Structure 1
Amino acid sequence: MRTLKDLDPRGKRVLVRVDYNVPIKEGKVQDETRILESLPTLRHLLDQGASLVLLSHLGRPKGVDPKYSLAPVAEALGRHLPRVRFVPHSPGSEEAYQAVGALMAGEVALLENVRFEPGEEKNDPDLAARYARLGEAFVLDAFGSAHRAHASVVGVARLLPSFAGLLMEKEVKALSRLLRDPEKPYAVVIGGAKVSDKIGVIENLLPRIDRLLIGGAMAFTFIKALGGEVGKSLVEEDRLDLAKDLLRRAESLGVRVHLPVDVVAAERIEAGVETRTFPADAIPVPYMGLDIGPKTQVAFAEALKGARTVFWNGPMGVFEVPPFDQGTLAVGRAVAALEGAFTVVGGGDSVAAVNRLGLKDRFSHVSTGGGASLEYLEKGTLPGIEVLE
């Protein structure tokens, strides 16, 4: 993969694909994490005498929609870098091309949302060519979008000298350690709603790992497959055989699988609802399991002890509705407490838990791409990486 070490940006206008898909409320950016993560690459290029044209998506707009404008992001970025300006035209337009033509060294132009362009997600070659006019070199630093073969990720990279930014390089380096010669014992903690969302990752990691801890609603598909009573808990009925097969495969590979032993349950998902704790395989109707229980929190922390490599993706319960966030927070604390281990966390709720606990610095790597990190661990590469090789 070509990196910034291979690029001399002096006097060049460099097109950078960043990931500024950030939460915005009433015209203000609510969480600047992704903006802050992009700064090392941008400062490196500016310090070397480049001018910068930035491309990003925001949300999933259906055509041009002011609600998804990147204008608030430009304002937030301007607090961290001097000489930032927003170009309010569609990034593939003639107006945008004219606006960036006069950029001087040290100046930064953030263009409007790439998803306002109808050809972006189709990787339209004509749109990619219009993007390519905007710079003399291309830097991909949007790891969170590197699994999408879109015009601003892959299309333009084929048309300009292209390089991985520092964030992209950091992500690939950390995640590749989870696939290539990971230090043992190696534990994986997987959560979230559906087995089907994580099946590819589990299958690819199984031959490499020693312990698999399964939480979140997906655990109920495994528990039911083993004959447990799960009440009204979410179950993927069409994946019960798959769950049994995964458990058999884990056993044949010598992987120890840890499922919840107890759960915090309620009759409905809402804050302040009355909760009960049940054995995970004996949940009566009309209750549904909504978080791992206190015994499971202790058991999972115990199962993680001594691990030298840990990958965690996905919440242990309905994280966004207290009190069903406690299991996820407990797992965050348990992973953060491991001394000398290589620990990686990815996925929105898992990362949110780490940030809420103020323990980000206790993890070896906090991935900025949920879907991208899972796809990388499943396939060992991504469209955005292949195009830089």
Structure 2
Amino acid sequence: MATKKSVGALKEADLKGKRVFVRVDLNVPLDDNFNITDDTRVRAAVPTIKYLMGLGSKVILSSHLGRPKGVTPKYSLKPLVPRLSELLGVEVKMANDCIGAEVEKLVAEIPDGGVLLLENVRFYKEEEKNDPEFAKKLASLADVYVNDAFGTAHRAHASTEGVAKFLKPSVAGFLMQKELDYLVGAVANPKKPFAAIVGGSKVSTKIGVIESLLAKVDILLLGGGMIFTFYKAQGYSVGSSLVEEDKLDLATSLLEKAKAKGVSLLLPTDVVIADKFAPDANSKVVSASEIPDGWMGLDIGPDSIKTFSEALDTTKTIIWNGPMGVFEFEKFAAGTEVIAKKLAELSSKGVTTIIGGGDSVAAVEKVGLADKMSHISTGGGASLELLEGKPLPGVLALDDA
């Protein structure tokens, strides 16, 4: 993918007094009283917005929240106004819509350095259909387009892709830029040795990532529920562990591919098993090839943690996508938590550590080590698609650098 123009390349002359349409990702979790329970995404959007404010732009913010079918009050962006205003140090104005005469009037009233938040863009079904007329209406509000919503960059929607066709310049925000620098840059030209840790419950959702990474990494560590499909493919008894029966041949071929490419692929040699899928299950550690009937593997075992840690000690770049076990249950969280601590320790020694979105981000946050990593990706699906080597429509639509 070609390098894209960044908002940092735009100076005061390009931005002062200009209306800038910024697609941000404010899709945050809200509780029943509409309080934000995790403001990570709001905070991540701040640097780009502040940069534009500082250069005298009239900032128009657009985002989605949830998956509304039409106008749904519980998916309104209104509850985000107080936190946004607090973080930006200005009173953020809110529109009751994202297109139309009333919105145009509010846009005309934005002072230089002021911020207007548009209502949830997904209240219109045209957004997800990438309807050109709708994209044109959004674009008509502004002079410049900035996409800082990496979390939706894999979707070709009106506000993430369509708008860019009508506005020049169309550039990447700082968050989008950082995501691309790490997830594309580090993976394309990693400092070697390069290791990937891939976990999660199903092989099927990670096939693309594993295949893509096998071409690039020196070491591949596998954990999480997907390992039992590999074990079964090797003829091990897996008890009642999660297995994707239709992926056994694929698991075998991935192991063969790793061997052919000279990649050191490590599967856990021991696992923590449970007699039921519950936080209070009875548990014990067994060899990976000796899971008894009626028991299921829910975490990697202590020997595997040690082997994995020693393998990681040899590396210069690590990318991690997917937990090692059912970390939501305290009894089965050790594998994931120790790996998180290991990455934090290596990060402090100069190793590039990238947490590639999804559950591994939640795991790293749970142990309070998020700020110790080189990069934490804010995208789930977008991170996966990028690691699979797929182009992202929201990125392709931007101007080349």
Contact 2:221–2:266, Cα closer than 8 Å, also in 1: yes
Q: Paired residue for 2:23?
A: 17
Q: Paired residue for 1:366?
A: 376
Q: Paired residue for 1:379?
A: 389
* CA RMSD, Structure 1 to Structure 2 (Å): 1.5
Contact 1:91–1:117, Cα closer than 8 Å, also in 2: no
From 176, 181, 193, give the equivalent of 1:185: 193
1:293-372 correspondence to structure 2 within 5 Å: 293-338=301-346, 339-372=349-382
Structure 2 residue identity aligned to 1:112: E
2: CA distance between counterparts of 1:59 and 1:274?
37
Displaced runs of 4+ in structure 1, greater than 4 A? none
- Residues 100-109 or 148-157, more deviating: 100-109
Structure 2 residue identity aligned to 1:19: D
Q: Paired residue for 2:58?
A: 51
Q: Paired residue for 1:130?
A: 137
What's the secondary structure of 1:139's corresponding residue? strand
Structure-2 change in CA distance of 1:323 and 1:252 (3 Å): same
Give CA-to-partner distance per residue, 1:322-343, whole Å, 9 cap, x none.
2222211111111122122111
Contact 1:53–1:110, Cα closer than 8 Å, also in 2: yes
- TM-score normalized with structure 2 length: 0.93
2: CA distance between counterparts of 1:371 and 1:46?
30
By how many angstroms is 1:55 displaced? Answer: 0.7
1:110-149 correspondence to structure 2 within 5 Å: 110-149=117-156
Structure 1 residue identity aligned to 2:39: E
What's the secondary structure of 1:177's corresponding residue? helix
2: CA distance between counterparts of 1:153 and 1:370?
16
By how many angstroms is 1:88 displaced? Answer: 4.8
Give CA-to-partner distance per residue, 1:135-175, whole Å, 9 cap, x none.
11110001111111111100011111111101111111111
Unaligned runs of 5+ residues in structure 2 are none
Contact 1:232–1:288, Cα closer than 8 Å, also in 2: yes
Contact 2:357–2:376, Cα closer than 8 Å, also in 1: no
Question: What is the percentage of aligned positions where both structures have the same residue?
Answer: 50
Contact 1:347–1:370, Cα closer than 8 Å, also in 2: yes
Structure 1 residue identity aligned to 2:37: Q
Structure 1 residue identity aligned to 2:83: A
Give CA-to-partner distance per residue, 1:248-288, whole Å, 9 cap, x none.
00001111111112222223322223222222222122111
Q: Paired residue for 1:154?
A: 161
Structure 1 residue identity aligned to 2:371: D
By how many angstroms is 1:380 displaced? Answer: 5.2
2: CA distance between counterparts of 1:361 and 1:220?
32
By how many angstroms is 1:116 displaced? Answer: 1.2
1: CA distance between counterparts of 2:236 and 2:174?
47
By how many angstroms is 1:77 displaced? Answer: 0.9
Q: Paired residue for 1:83?
A: 90
Unaligned runs of 5+ residues in structure 1 are none
What's the secondary structure of 1:5's corresponding residue? helix
Structure-2 change in CA distance of 1:95 and 1:281 (3 Å): farther
Give CA-to-partner distance per residue, 1:335-371, whole Å, 9 cap, x none.
1221221111122321122222222232111111121
By how many angstroms is 1:244 displaced? Answer: 0.4
Contact 1:50–1:106, Cα closer than 8 Å, also in 2: yes
1: CA distance between counterparts of 2:209 and 2:140?
38
By how many angstroms is 1:83 displaced? Answer: 3.0
Structure 2 residue identity aligned to 1:138: Y
What's the secondary structure of 1:228's corresponding residue? coil
What's the secondary structure of 2:330's corresponding residue? coil
1: CA distance between counterparts of 2:331 and 2:97?
43
Contact 2:81–2:94, Cα closer than 8 Å, also in 1: no
- Residues 92-101 or 199-208, more deviating: 92-101
From 279, 286, 289, give the equivalent of 2:294: 286
Give CA-to-partner distance per residue, 1:227-257, whole Å, 9 cap, x none.
1111111111111111100100000111111
Structure 2 residue identity aligned to 1:4: V
What's the secondary structure of 1:11's corresponding residue? coil
How many pairs align?
A: 389
Structure 2 residue identity aligned to 1:105: D
